[in-house]
Chains A and B, each alone.
Chain A
Amino acid sequence: MAANEVKGTKEPDYVVIESGKTTLRDLYTKEDWMAIWLGFALLIAGLLLFLPRPPAKMDENLAKYNATMKEEAAKAPFKTIAWNQASAAKKGIRATNQDFAKAIKEYLEAPSDWSVNPLDALYRSKATAEAMNAKGEEAYKKVKEAEEAALAKAKASEEAAAAAAFKDEALNKQAESDIKAWLAAKDKTSKAKRKVSNKPYNRFPYLLGLAVALAFFFGIGRAVMGDSFIRFFVGFFFVFILAVLAYMGETQATMKHWGFGFPLWAIVFGMLISNTIGTPRWVEPAVQTEYYIKTGLVLLGAEILFNKILAIGKPGIFIAWICTPITLIVTYWFGQRVLKIASKTLNITISADMSVCGVSAAIATAAACRAKKEELTLAIGLSMVFTAVCMVGQPAVARLVGMPEILAGAWMGSTIDSTGAVAAAGAFYGEKALYVAATIKMIQNVLIGVTAFGVAVYWCARVECAPGQRVSWWEIWYRFPKFVIGFMLASIFFSILDQSMGKDYSAVMIDHGVLRGFTRLAREWFFALAFTSIGLETNFREFKPYFKGGKPITLYIFGQSLQLGMTLLVAYIMFYIIFTEVTKNL
C-alpha cells in the first residue's frame, strides 16, 4: 500500500512513470521479494515439520472408516449409527492432534478468552481451571447420560428397521429421527465437555519467546535489505505488545460475540498512540505495514486450495463463484460511474471486502492495487459494522420467512462478509445451515487468489495509466506487485499438493497439518503486526476526505443489497430446482 499522503484532487491517483527497470539486486533489496522469501521459508519449514509425521495408522484408519460408510450407505436408506460414528472418527484424524503439533500451537497461539479481567487472557492458575471444570461437571454428566439414552433408543429403532430389511418406511423414518436426536444429544455433550476441559496456562513466556523469534525473523530480512537490525529489533517489541493487546480486544467475551476482531483493535490501539502521545521515534523502524502484510499474504496463498471449490458440488460453484464476481464488478462499476468515488483503490477495496469475504479479501485486494492504509482501514471498519448487523439480522429474517436450512446456510454463507460471523449465523439457525454456510464461505474464500491477481494485473495494465496510454508487458511486469507472484505460487503449489495427496490424506496432513497447525497461526500474527503498524502511522485527520458525502457507506449498502437478493435467488434455483440430488443427500 502506498504510504503517500491523501490526495484531495480529482486527478488520477496513479500515473505511469515509463522508466521502469528491474535488476537482480531487487531479489534481496525489495520488500516484495523479501516477503516472498520469508513466506516460502515458513511454508517449507511447515512442510518439513508435518509431512514426515503422519498420525499413527492414518492410512489404515481412513480406509477402515471409508469402508464402513460405504457398507452402511449400501445397507440402509438413511445414515445409520455406524455411518455417523465412522464419519466422526474420520474427522478425529488430524496431524494437529499429535504432541509436536500441540507444542507448536502453544508457542504460536494468541491470548485466550476473557470476560472481566484482561489478565485471564494470559494466565490461568490450576485452581481456577479446576474450579471452572467443577462448575460444569454436573451439567456434563447430565447431558452425557441423555446422550447414552438417545443412543440406546436410536440403536433399538435401527435394529427394528433392519429386522424389516429396511423395507418398512415408517420404521426407517423412526430410526432416522432417533438417530438425529442422538446426534443432537451428542453435540450437546461435546459442548458441555468443553466446559469441563479447562486447563491452566501461563502465556507470558511463550509470548516473550515468540516476540524474540519474530523480531529475529523480520529483523534479519530488514538487515538484508540494508536497514539496521538493532533499530528494528528494539522497536519491534512495542509493535508486538500492541498486537497482543489487539488480540486481547478480540478475545473479550462481548467483542467476540459481535465479531470485532484483532484487525479493528490493532488499528484502534495504534491510532490511540499515534494521535495522542505520538508514535515514539525508536519504534518507527519496526512500523512496517507492507512488510508484515505481504509476508502474511504469501502464507495466506498456501491456504487458497483450488480443489475446495468443489466441496459442495456444482451449486457451490454457482453461488460463490458466479454471484460473487458479478457483485464485485457491478459494485465497482456503481462506485465509479454512479457515485463517482474519487479513489479507485478505495472503491475496489470496499467492493472486494463486501462481495468476497471481508477483512481477508480487503487485505489482499488493497495490497494488490496499492490502496492507501486509510482506505483499507475504512473498508475493514465498514465491513465489521455491517457484519455484526448481518450476523444477527440474517438468521432472524430467514427464521421469520421459514427458510429451509440449506437455503439459509447458502444465503448467509455467501453474503455475510466475515468467515467467523458466517459460522455464528449458521450455528444460530441450525447444524445443517452451519455446515452449508461455512462450506460456501470456504469456497468463496478461495476467490481471494483470483481477485488479488486480477486486480493487480488490471491496475498495472489499465488503471495506473494516463488516458489513452498503452502499457508494454515489460512495464506491467515492472509495476506488478511482486509479492502477488509468491502468493499465487504458494496457492498453486499447495493446490497441486492437496490434489495429488487425495482429499482424505490432504485434510489430515495439509489442512489440519501444515496450514492450521503452523502457517495460519504465523499469518495471523503477521496481520496483527500489520494492522498495529497501520494504526501507529495513521492520523485521524487523514480519514476526513473519505467520509465526504457518505459515499463509502452508500457503496457498501448498494453492493450488499445486490448480493443479498441475487444470492438468495441463485441459491434457491441451484439447490431446489436444478441440483436437487445434492440437496437431498446433504
Chain B
Amino acid sequence: MFALMPLAGYLPGAVTMGRVIDERDLRATAIYYTDLEESAEGAETIRDSLAYPPREMERGEP
C-alpha cells in the first residue's frame, strides 16, 4: 500500500490537496473535532463574527 499510494498522486486535484494539507499542517486523519485545531479556530472566528458584527451602513449613506 505504501508503494502504491503515491501513484494516486497522479489523480487530478490530489497533488493540490496534498499541498494544502502540508501547508496548513492539517491533520486530515482527525476523527473528532478536538483532534483538529481548525475546528476551534473556525468556531471562534464565527462566534466573534456573530457576536460583534460590523454595523450596517447608515441610511442616507451612499
Q: Which residues of A contact B (CB under 8 A)?
A: 66, 69-70, 72-80, 83, 87, 90-91, 167-169, 172, 191, 194, 250, 252-263, 268, 300, 303, 308, 311-313, 357-360, 391-393, 395-396, 418-421, 423-424, 426-428, 434-439, 441-442, 445, 503, 507, 511-512, 515-516, 520, 524, 527, 582, 585-586
Contact = CB atoms under 8 A, between A and B. Distances in A.
B31 A420 contact: yes
Nearest to B14: A392
Contact of A311 (B18, B28, B34, B47): B47
Given A91-B45, A167-B58, A419-B39, 13 more contacts: A79-B54, A91-B40, A168-B62, A172-B57, A255-B29, A256-B29, A258-B8, A419-B33, A424-B21, A436-B46, A438-B36, A438-B42, A442-B33
Contact of B39 (A418, A439, A524): A439
A309 to B, nearest CB: 11
Contact of A585 (B16, B39, B53): B53
Contact of A78 (B5, B33, B54): B54
A585 B32 contact: no
B55 A74 contact: yes
A312 B39 CA distance: 12
A438 B37 CA distance: 10
A586 B34 CA distance: 22
11 contacts: A74-B55, A77-B57, A194-B25, A253-B18, A257-B28, A261-B29, A357-B31, A421-B28, A427-B21, A435-B41, A586-B49
Do most interface residues of chain B lie in helix, strand or loop, or is the interface mixed? helix
Closest A-B pairs by Cβ, 6 of them = A261-B29, A420-B30, A435-B42, A442-B33, A438-B42, A257-B18
A136 to B, nearest CB: 12
A250 B18 CA distance: 14
Contacts of A257: 9, 14, 17-18, 21-22, 28
Nearest to A311: B43
B5 A427 contact: no
A409 B27 CA distance: 17
Contact of B23 (A191, A253, A261): A191
B61 A516 contact: no
Do most interface residues of chain A lie in helix, strand or loop, or is the interface mixed? helix
Given A428-B16, A438-B38, A511-B40, A73 B30 contact: no
Given A392-B13, A435-B41, A439-B46, A191 B31 contact: no
Contacts of A308: 33, 43
B57 A427 contact: no
A428 B20 contact: yes
Contacts of A259: 28-29
Contacts of A520: 32, 34-35
A322 B58 CA distance: 37
Nearest to A249: B2
A169 B62 CA distance: 6
B31 A507 contact: no
Contacts of A585: 49-50, 53
Interface of B: 1-2, 5-6, 8-9, 11-14, 16-18, 20-36, 38-58, 61-62
A420 B24 CA distance: 12
A434 to B, nearest CB: 6
Given A169-B61, A256-B21, A357-B32, A427 B45 contact: no
Contacts of B34: 303, 511, 515-516, 520
A75 B23 CA distance: 35
A530 B41 CA distance: 30
Nearest to B58: A167
B54 A73 contact: yes
Contact of B29 (A172, A312, A420, A428): A420
A75 B57 CA distance: 10
B19 to A, nearest CB: 9
Nearest to A118: B2
A351 B1 CA distance: 27
A263 B62 contact: no
Contact of B45 (A87, A194, A252, A263): A87
A360 B32 contact: yes
Contacts of A524: 35
A419 B44 contact: no
Contact of B36 (A75, A419, A527): A419
Contacts of B38: 423, 426-427, 434-435, 438
Given A252-B2, A420-B35, A90 B62 contact: no
A70 B52 contact: yes
A169 B21 CA distance: 37
Given A303-B34, A435-B42, A512-B40, A77 B54 contact: yes
B33 A261 contact: no
Nearest to B29: A261
B42 A436 contact: yes
A156 B6 CA distance: 47
Contacts of A256: 21, 27-29
Contacts of B62: 167-169
Contacts of B32: 300, 303, 357, 360, 419, 445, 520
A255 B26 contact: no
Given A391-B17, A423-B38, A77 B55 contact: yes
